[in-house]
Structure 1
Amino acid sequence: MGVLRYYIVTAVVATAVAGLWLGGGWVWLGIATFPVLMALDVLLPADHKLHRVSVPALADLPLYLHLPLLAGLWTLFVVRLSEWTGGAPGAVGGWQVVGMVLSVGWIGAVPNLPIAHELMHRRHWFPVAVAKVYSTVYLDPNRDVGHKLTHHLDLCTPVDSDTPRRGQTIYSFVWQASYGAWKDGVVTSVRSLRKRNMTIFHPRNAVYVELALLAALCAVVTVFAGWQGLLVALATMVFSKLLVEGFNYLQHYGLVRVPGSPIALHHAWNHLGAVIRPLGVEITNHIEHHFDSKHRFYELAPRGDGAQMPSAFLCFVCALVPPLWKSRIAKPRLRDWDSRFASPAEKEVAMAENRRAGWPQWLELGVPVKADPEPSGMA
């Protein structure tokens, strides 16, 4: 039964596909799954159980079922856009176009990003290639190129574009992370070519793959739905990208690590909600993934003894209101993290980060600090 929980990703995408198939007001069905999933993740008890998978192929199947479903979703999206731009009888109207953008954009981020993330870490060319296709709909086909060789080495340090610093808002972070991912992809690709004595013009340059995938998707949309349809599709991909980096904001927010020091249990936030774990393909079971990224998602043991955050859905919504995020979640959790988890060197770095952000110096360095058993933020 443990493996069936991962088919929630298939069900959510299929719901969005059904909405576009039915048309009319049903196109809002995809984005309507967000508040439902959020309510369940907040209300249900956290899931700290390791769910054994006896048939690994059945756990992997939803990752590949996602390919025809995502293709079907985008095909229906383009068909509806072509009807709208062509003025076909019964075509979707303005608000329904908005519903399609939100629904397709939401699916392009969740569960699409976690599935792509899982496959990009596989040790075979085929799943990595499929991950590039998935990542195209949020404008980042080369996410894998830099991610594995920058974030996994530099997490929780100032040079990591995927680590938000204390006091940073989600709005500035989405730009930082987006630019950082694209830059890391280009820089890593060029370095790889140079190590093999190849020029940047060599066909094995991963940047060409990225440009080809993005150009192909845009060309298909333009051919069938025109320039108006392309603008809507681009808005949808941008929305997906913002959501992708918005959820990325939650994974290492405010955490610090001395550059070059070993990655430890406390260098990622875990979100062990009963819904987000299977929907996110265990991406929120985060520190175990950083310990050894070659492990399959269903092999990751939830670490209840690590640094914890509330529901990822709740954190995301709160992060959209920076004062609420800082006062109710970020500061209480980080104060607890500084007291209970940080090494002496990390405490120094943490208080320097607090000074930079204009936050209180809640640790008296050199003086033992009694930590609260639980942070005082939202449960």
Structure 2
Amino acid sequence: MNLSSLRFCTTSMLMTLNIGLLLIGGLSLWAGFLTVMVLKTALDELIGDAKVEEGAVPARLLDIAAMAALPLLLVNSVLFAHYFSSADHTWLGGMLARIGIDFDAARHSTTAFHLIGATMSMGALYGLGLNTTHELIHRTTDPVATTVARWLGALSCESGFTLHHMAVHHVNAGLYEEPGTSRRGESVYAFIWRATIGANRQGFILECERLRRRGLPLWSWHNRFLTGQAMTLAIAVLYYLCGGWPAVGAFLVVSFQGHFFLEAAGYVEHFGLVRAPGTRFEARHAWNSYRAVSNAILYNLAYHAHHHLYASRPYYELRRDEGAPVLPHGYMTMFALSLVPPLYFKVMQPHLDNWDRNYATEAELRYLRAHGKRVWEPTPAPAE
């Protein structure tokens, strides 16, 4: 076994850790969020890039590690939802007491401040769950993987993403009509609004077109967009049964956090890069990063150029591509910087200028200019 590949179990370990923290309660509920943030930013930059590529890996173990996200997040969700009611509606506290875990005491000792920490932790984990959705929806020949992906997406109301991503984003990335490609000068907040509306709209249209071709009714269980919404509703009902309406409100909050995480990652992946209409996607149309920690947590998401060129390959088979531009920091550090748009634009401008000089074609520069975007221009030679 290639032991270095076990780093891809980090997401599952973080989700398992948070289960333990929810059973303890109190101030420990902040630890999940803080651990994720430290791992994804400070430690990521401290350790730096991965030194070697993966060799032979235990694929079965790594597939299980990815699919384990669903049961682990469901357990997290049930425990989290119970914090919003003083009653033990599901008798969970009594059952845990039989094995020596005083969950009721943990809940009753938890204050509003502690609950904020729990909510932030759950939102971060839901975001990691959506990253797993992204990995699994590419396994189109594996019905178990795609079903797990849809339920993980349902945790953050993402039925539109699971339909749109393969059929639209991977076909049109880099074009202005594609809602999942962030534009120069566009803040992460404006992008998330545009991408969310666009992905859901296009996902619904795609599903309607698929059903029409097959002669199936639009308003039926055949419609995956609608069944995705029903799956989200089922999760909301689970929250209600565990903690009442306050828990449903908490579910909406953590779902939004997960969605924000997903779209912010999408914002970083292609920021400011374009391809001319009618041309094929190449490695230079996605930002790569080789940070060891964030790629372990995000299932090599930042080997993004290779992912687009070989979309059916599982994450542990993705490799570096020397033809891709490289971000100055890891994906998660870039995500943190994007929360302050002027700072993000300042950090990225030299790298966009470099892309214009060394990667872009003249047709791509014209495409940017046609949409009113600034491109790098050579300094005119001084007149003699």
Please give the TM-score of this superposition, normalised by the length of structure 2.
0.89
Q: 1:162 aligns with which of 153, 163, 180?
A: 180
Question: 2-side partners of 1:274 and 1:116: how far apart?
Answer: 21
What CA distance in whole angstroms lies between the structure 1 residues aligned with 2:337 and 2:295? 19
**Which residue is equivalent to 1:121?**
138
**1:5 and 2:7 aligned:** yes
- In structure 1, the partner of 2:93 is none
Give the whole-Å Cα distance in 2 for the aligned partners of 1:323 and 1:332: 14
Residues 240/84 of structure 1: CA separation in 2 closer, same or farther (3 Å cut): farther
Which of 55, 58, 61 aligns to 2:58? It is 55
2:341 paired residue number: 322
Q: Which runs of 4+ in 1 moved over 6 A?
A: none
Q: Which runs of 5+ in 1 are unaligned?
A: 369-379
- Is 1:235 the counterpart of 2:217? The answer is no
Question: For residues 274-353 of structure 1, what are the structure 2 equivalents within 5 Å?
Answer: 274-309=292-327, 310-328=329-347, 330-353=348-371
How far residue 94 of structure 1 moved from its aligned partner, in angstroms, is: 1.2
Matches within 5 A, 1:213-224: 213-224=231-242
**How many pairs are equivalent?**
360
Q: Name the CA shift for 1:352/1:131 in 2 (closer, same or farther; >3 Å).
A: same
- Displacement after TM superposition at 1:141 (Å): 3.1
Query: Residue 259 of structure 1: CA displacement?
Result: 1.8
Q: 1:132 pairs with 114, 139, 150, which one?
A: 150
Q: CA 1:25–1:350 in 2, change beyond 3 Å: closer, same or farther?
A: same
The answer to whether the 8 A contact 2:337-2:344 is kept is yes
Deviations for 1:101-136, whole angstroms, at most 9, x for unmatched residues?
1000000002x1221111111022111010011111
Match for 1:8: what amino acid? Answer: T
After TM superposition, give the deviation of residue 316 of structure 1 in Å. Answer: 1.1
SS in 2 for 1:251: helix
Partner of 1:23: 25
Q: Decide whether the 8 Å contact of 1:134 with 1:141 is kept in 2.
A: no
Q: Which residue of 2 aligns with 1:372?
A: none
- Cα RMSD (Å): 2.0
Matched to 2:233, the amino acid is A
Aligned to 2:99: none
User: Which AA in structure 1 matches 2:53?
Assistant: L
Counterpart Cα distance in 2 of 1:100 and 1:84: 19
**Structure 1 position 48, deviation (Å):** 5.8
Q: Provide Cα deviations, 1:75-98, integer angstroms capped at 9, x if missing partner.
A: 111122223899x77252211121
In 1: Cα distance, 2:46 partner to 2:226 partner: 45
In structure 1, what is the Cα distance between the partners aligned to 2:214 and 2:158? 25
Partner of 2:92: none
Asked whether the equivalents of residues 284 and 323 of structure 2 are also in contact (C-alpha less than 8 Å), the reply is: no
Q: Which residue of 2 aligns with 1:376?
A: none
Match of 1:39 among 24, 42, 53: 42
Going from structure 1 to structure 2, the CA distance change for 1:259 and 1:48 (only over 3 Å counts) comes to farther
Instruction: Give the Å deviation of 1:174.
Output: 1.0
Partner-residue secondary structure (3-state), 1:266:
helix
Secondary structure of the residue aligned to 2:86 is helix
Q: Identity rate of aligned residues, in percent?
A: 26
Distance 1:347 1:81, change over 3 A: same
User: CA 1:333–1:352 in 2, change beyond 3 Å: closer, same or farther?
Assistant: farther
- Supply the AA of the counterpart residue of 1:322: P
